[in-house]
Chains A and B, each alone.
Chain A
Amino acid sequence: MKKPPTQRRILGPFNRVEGDLEVHVAIDENQVSKAWVNSPLFRGFEQILQAKDPLDALVYTPRICGICSVSQSIAAAQALAVAQGIQICPNGQLAANLILAAENMADHLTHFYLFFMPDFARPVYADKNWFDSIQARFKAQTGTATKEVLPARAALLHLTGILAGKWPHSLAIQPGGTTRPITAQEKISLLTIIRSFRHFLQETLFGAELEQVAAIQSANALSTWQQSYPNADFSRFLMLADDLNLDSLGRAGDCFMSYGAYHNQQTALFKAGVWQHQYAPLEPHQISEDLSHSWLSGEHEAKHPFEGSTLAGNHEPDGYSWCKAPRLDGKMVEVGAIARQIVNGQALIQELVSHSGSNVHHRVVARLLELALVVPEMEKWCQQIHVQDTFCLTAPMPEEAQGAGLVEAARGSLGHWLSIKGGRIDNYQIIAPTTWNFSPRDASAQPGALELALQGTRVEDEAKASVAIQHIIRSFDPCMVCTVH
């Protein structure tokens, strides 16, 4: 019998992905044989930043993204701090960590409840025995969870009202610290905000103390825990994930990278590194960006971001996305909570990934686990603030300098590379988390993480295939506005 011809389909638009995304798939023998991921919006921040006063990057770069705004601020502030040769002061570091963690924890919560779970309340799952309860809880807009989550999220972000003026788009984060010294009374307010958020997570998401969740070190322990707390929203996810085999959906390349997160003067809560079957240190000089399948103009040879450029010129004919293809030592890597946790040696995530690679289930577990790991640390950082000490150091801006700022946004590794000449910005290149995860192919035709993750998805049933593809896409917690910027 003759093999049926390959079908091509264009999928999109996708919502709940913070911006614009289009996916093309080729289908052979009832499964996705190839995928091409397209970011169809270009704004040109790298060109906007050309010739600006270096400190003005603190105004422009947060506005790349309304959901990773603080991460962008911190990456810019770090790149400037390196250029200026200053080290952030201890209070400034604690305040910046708290502001970043508030954004990242709010994003994890928003992703799980508002962006990811509503897909399980779609009519395609109406025949499942869990459908009625999941629909009642997670249906977009009308599910009971939304009314609990929105106030909890808003209350957590009161932390930014105190420490950063507002969220998103604060100017509080500076190279040497933060602009907002706090009083002893405000320190109590901050602690109470964090503890209220802990209470919400314990009551609603986990049904147990955060420390108990953080102590889950194996797949067996996770399963026992799920049976012990069946009414928690995390358990509801684990139950339907088992039923739908979400751990066999959306496997990418199993090579992970993290820039490390939540630094203090000596160390970091989550260390930087690379994981491919084992840990290796991160070598930032191995990062390069390749334009071969992007619409951007420039030499096709992959370049380190200090040498890179971002120019939308001729709509290059080989391109299929505005996104570049970032690679680490020529390899495609996956970034995000799963990468941060495996690189940091978290035992549960290491066991899960060694068993079945990166996939929809493991990405979501890692993200929720991070809520349990980070919120107790936020309480500690808050208590470590010495209200009488300085919050910000300053230094002159050099006429010529370079600096890189590497930070972990909720959805993965974000880097800024800045060069200053004649006291102005000479070059500014940005690689966002979803630039890594949703990159197009590179010169050696190596696909990006999502492109690989979509391969093999079964499409016999069109409605089920459509929703499966959406689970895979959203499991990365994409931020498309950052991707191309």
Chain B
Amino acid sequence: MTKPFNLLWLQSGGCGGCSMSLLNAETPDFLSYLHLNHIQLLWHPSLSEAGGDEFLALLASIEQGNIQLDALCIEGSVMQGPNGSGRFHILSGTQRPMMQVIASLSEKARYTIAVGNCAAFGGITMAGINPGEACGLQYTGELAGGLLGQNWLSPAQLPVINIAGCPTHPNWVLETLVQIALGDFNQDNLDHYQRPRSYTDHLVHHGCPRNEYYEFKASAEQPTDQGCMMEHRGCLGTQARADCNTRLWNGSGSCLRGGYACINCTAPEFEEPEGHFTRTRQVAGIPVGLPTDVPKAWFVALSSLAKAATPTRLKVNATADHIRIAPGDKTEQDKN
């Protein structure tokens, strides 16, 4: 029998939402998924029996090297405040700042995995004046460094693996863990921000059910409008790297399918947009933040052309809360 790959999951300064999202995993459920792939959950804050002294003894065994830890998953930002002391987050029963515990365990774990935008980049906890002096494990926003430092490598010679998202999709986490456990994961699987390319080689735009509106620049104006949300409603789906519209959420959902903008929650500093989250910034009537790799002049030209060619059906439906005009059938005349 193969030696199980073991996993320790700790929560730092976060909301616990990535764990809650993990419990949404289906066919199979989260625990079965780990079990079937020979991953042993040493401890998870929502699911384990052990607490208090038993849990502290487990941490001590790992720190002393008596238990070999394969993967350390950290959820939530690292709380460095006040004044770098880490006292905004003390591990209960120990008087130890959580940031010290994380730094110590990450030297022991073969792989360290930041689950969620908070652990990866600092995330929502870093917004505004960043009152908690929050940062990520190896980034502070877009800036490499974070708690562990830019050049830090785990004992398996990989940087922190940043499964960024707010929250993470359960299968981003589970599939990455299994890839790692199988020895199938290396530097080539990571993108520029050390995120697994398995989900960041895609754009949220891919598979968006509003694509036809996008093609003809038929735009939504109000919260329930059916049209494309890029021009007015703040949608960053054409820039955001994730597969949210091809790998759906909670059965059939995604942000765009739910009628609201993609806020690019897999990216560092998504928590501080230049404008409003759900209103597009425009300069001279042109949305700021066009698709990253489309030349601007072409985009503007194509958009003007598309707008001129927009069928009435899309124009009407784009600003309606239900389909007002259904697509027609081909008539004999059309066929000739």
Contact = CB atoms under 8 A, between A and B. Distances in A.
B258 interface: yes
Contacts of A147: 29, 31-32
Given A40-B89, A50-B129, A394-B222, A140 B49 contact: yes
23 contacts: A12-B92, A13-B56, A14-B51, A16-B45, A16-B51, A41-B88, A63-B15, A66-B17, A67-B17, A110-B23, A141-B48, A147-B32, A150-B30, A154-B25, A157-B250, A161-B250, A165-B254, A168-B15, A169-B17, A170-B260, A390-B321, A392-B321, A481-B14
Given A12-B93, A162-B252, A392 B129 contact: no
B128 interface: yes
Interface residues of B, number: 76
Interface in B241-261: 248-261
B128 A47 contact: yes
A64 interface: yes
A52 B128 contact: yes
Contacts of B41: 141
A55 B278 contact: yes
A69 interface: yes
A178 B260 CA distance: 10
A315 B322 CA distance: 54
Nearest to A142: B31
Contacts of B222: 392, 394
B249 A166 contact: yes
A154 B259 CA distance: 21
B54 to A, nearest CB: 10
A52 B273 CA distance: 11
A38 to B, nearest CB: 8
Nearest to A148: B29
B82 interface: yes
B47 A141 contact: yes
A17 to B, nearest CB: 8
Interface of A: 10-16, 18-22, 38, 40-44, 47-53, 55-56, 58-60, 63-67, 69, 110, 114-115, 118-119, 121-122, 139-141, 146-147, 150-151, 153-155, 157-158, 160-172, 174, 176-181, 183, 312-313, 315, 322, 387-388, 390-392, 394, 466, 470, 481
A43 B129 CA distance: 11
B17 A179 contact: no
A183 B322 contact: yes
A171 B258 contact: yes
Interface of B: 11, 13-21, 23-26, 29-32, 41, 45-52, 55-56, 77, 79, 81-82, 87-94, 124-125, 127-132, 134, 166-167, 222-224, 248-261, 263, 271, 276-278, 321-322
Contacts of A55: 276-278
**Can you list the 4 inter-chain pairs with the closest CB atoms, starting with the nearest?**
A165-B258, A66-B17, A44-B131, A12-B92
A40 B90 contact: yes
A158 B13 CA distance: 28
A466 B51 CA distance: 10
A434 to B, nearest CB: 13
Contacts, number: 265
B249 A165 contact: yes
Given A13-B93, A158-B250, A392-B224, A164 B258 contact: yes
B174 to A, nearest CB: 13
Contacts of B89: 20, 40-42
Contact of B17 (A11, A48, A168, A466): A168
Contacts of B77: 43
A69 B166 CA distance: 12
Contact of A63 (B46, B50, B87, B166): B166
Given A140-B48, A169-B166, A179 B259 contact: yes
Contact of B253 (A22, A121, A160): A160
Given A13-B92, A312-B131, A171 B278 contact: yes
A20 to B, nearest CB: 6
Contact of B263 (A22, A41, A59, A162): A59
B253 A13 contact: no
Nearest to B97: A40
Nearest to B117: A63
Given A168-B17, A183-B322, A391-B224, A43 B79 contact: yes
A139 B15 contact: no
Contacts of B254: 165-166
A253 B31 CA distance: 39
Contacts of A16: 45-48, 51
Nearest to B13: A43
B131 A47 contact: yes
Nearest to A139: B49
A312 B13 CA distance: 15
